[in-house]
Amino acid sequence: MKSYQVCFLLIMGLAFVISFVLSSGRAMAQGAGFYKTKVGNLEVTAISDATGQMGFDLLGGLEESQIKQEAVKAGSEGNYFPSFVNAFVVDLPLGKVLVDTGNGPAANLMKNLTAAGIAPEDIKVVLLTHYHGDHIRGLIDQSGKAAFPNATVYGAIAEDKYWLGGGNRGEEAQKCLSPYESAERYKLVSPGDEVLPGVQVVELYGHTPGHVGFLFKGGKEDFLAWGDVAHIAYVQFKYPEATMRYDVDKSKGVEVRKRIFAESAEKKLVVAGAHLPFPGIGRVTKSEGDSYEYKSIE
Ligand SMILES: [Zn+2]
């Protein structure tokens, strides 16, 4: 090989290495159970806690044929849709903030936090959208101790009152919250409150009586973690009127869905849902009639 040929190959090789370094520098490290992205100036990590299936029977207000049609589009061959449980970590100057905690030790939150390079000790704040088991069980470990030893946990006053206001409804919530409560690291907020600098509590009452979202100001773009506004993305964006069995107040659930879909589309929010297809982060746009479309950022 002539020396100019060697030189040419060396230059090509160098160019390849440089372009590889540049492109991998732009793309953030990803893994099967976590997904890192930027929303405005916020660094957000979606964490997968679980995947599974949700049956047609959970939906109400639609004809079975309409549901079936959407299931086929989603690639489902049975009477069910793929289902997801996600949690989200947002990096703020005060430290890492975790929104919801998944199903607890039997599920994958801890494993996938570790895979994303986040230790339980790194979590400074946990924000709870509501107190259903798939959002609060991850607060404690197998022995019932705080799974996030340095975290202060925030929930909504109305949610606290609904679950813990008497009777035995709130047994699970009590168990999950008590290590934080006894350490004086359990705090209550209301819609409109600035729970943390640049993070506002958003009223989404309906799915549960104290269901809330958290709106993170990101500069160029804002990020809304909306908990359980939608459970089955394959159906509920097209048909926001479709009810979900888990909604405590189904008609309020529909109202909230319509209001928040409209607001998310209008304000071009980047939204994050606990049950949206992983990574559970995307954008909502207005479609025909009362319908909306959801587009995952992935
Ligand atoms: Zn849920």
Say whether pLDDT at 240 is over 80.
yes
Determine the pLDDT at residue 259: 98
Say whether pLDDT at 65 is over 60.
yes
- Here the tokens at position 136 are 């609060």
- CATH code: domain of residue 45: 3.60.15.10
- Taking the C-alpha atoms of residue 101 and residue 112, their distance in angstroms, rounded to an integer, is 12
Asked if the structure places residue 166 within a domain, the reply is yes
Asked if the structure places residue 1 within a domain, the reply is no
Q: Ligand 1 centroid to 245 CA: how many Å?
A: 11
Determine the pLDDT at residue 29: 72
Type of residue numbered 298: E
Asked if the structure places residue 165 within a domain, the reply is yes
Asked if the structure places residue 17 within a domain, the reply is no
Say whether pLDDT at 156 is over 50.
yes
Q: How many CB atoms lie within 10 A of CB 288?
A: 8
Asked if the structure places residue 14 within a domain, the reply is no
Q: Ligand 1 centroid to 250 CA: how many Å?
A: 15
Which structural domain, as residue segments, surrounds residue 262? 33-296
Is 228 within 8 Å of 129 (Cβ atoms)? yes
- 189: enclosing H helix or E strand: strand 186-189
The arithmetic mean of pLDDT across residues 129-139, rounded, is 98
- Taking the C-alpha atoms of residue 179 and residue 201, their distance in angstroms, rounded to an integer, is 24
Q: Ligand 1 centroid to 198 CA: how many Å?
A: 25
- Taking the C-alpha atoms of residue 252 and residue 243, their distance in angstroms, rounded to an integer, is 10
Asked if the structure places residue 42 within a domain, the reply is yes
Is 228 within 8 Å of 273 (Cβ atoms)? yes
Q: Ligand 1 centroid to 3 CA: how many Å?
A: 65
Angle, in degrees to the nearest 10, between helices 171-182 and 157-164: 120
The arithmetic mean of pLDDT across residues 62-90, rounded, is 94
Q: 3-state DSSP: the chain helix, strand, coil percent, rounded to 5? A: 30, 30, 40
Strand locations in 226-291, DSSP E? Answer: 243-244, 270-272, 281-286
Q: How many CB atoms lie within 10 A of CB 119?
A: 12
Asked if the structure places residue 21 within a domain, the reply is no
Q: Ligand 1 centroid to 134 CA: how many Å?
A: 5
What predicted TM-score, i.e. pTM, was given to this entire model?
0.90
Determine the pLDDT at residue 16: 41
- Here the tokens at position 61 are 């207000």
Confidence of residue 122 (pLDDT cuts 50, 70, 90): very high
Q: How many domains does the chain have?
A: 1
Q: What is the mean pLDDT of the chain?
A: 91
Asked if the structure places residue 5 within a domain, the reply is no
Say whether pLDDT at 98 is over 60.
yes
Q: Ligand 1 centroid to 217 CA: how many Å?
A: 24
The arithmetic mean of pLDDT across residues 60-79, rounded, is 93
